[in-house]
Amino acid sequence: MTVTVKKVGGSMAVVIPVGIAREMELAEGTTLEVSTTADAIVMRRRGRRPRRPLRRLVAQIKPENYRRRRRELGQDPPVGREAW
């Protein structure tokens, strides 16, 4: 498929055909990353971070990184001019 580059204000624009927009699930306001290679202009949807399975995330939790509180909050003596 061939498209034409058009001048829009001080920039250049390429109109994405409707068929490609539907296929790529593009809508007005979709953010694209634009990069270049030696002989191409590449446009990619800004991807979300890859989803990671919950099991894998939970497996990375290390209980030794979390201290257990030995006393309840509020058992410390007042400091300064606190009024209880």
Residue where the block lists tokens 């300064």: 80
Reply yes or no on whether the pLDDT at 18 is more than 90.
yes
Kindly report the backbone phi and psi dihedral angles of residue 31, in degrees, each rounded to the nearest multiple of 5, phi listed first. -90, 130
Q: How confident is the model at residue 78 (pLDDT cuts 50, 70, 90)?
A: confident
CB atoms within 10 A of CB 20: 11
pTM for the whole structure: 0.48
**Predicted pLDDT at 22:** 92
Q: What is the pLDDT of residues 19-75, one digit of tens each?
A: 999 998 888 888 898 999 999 999 988 776 677 889 988 888 887 776 665 556 666
CATH topology of domain 5-65: Pemi-like Protein 1; Chain: D (2.10.260)
**Predicted pLDDT at 35:** 92
For the chain, the domains span 5-65
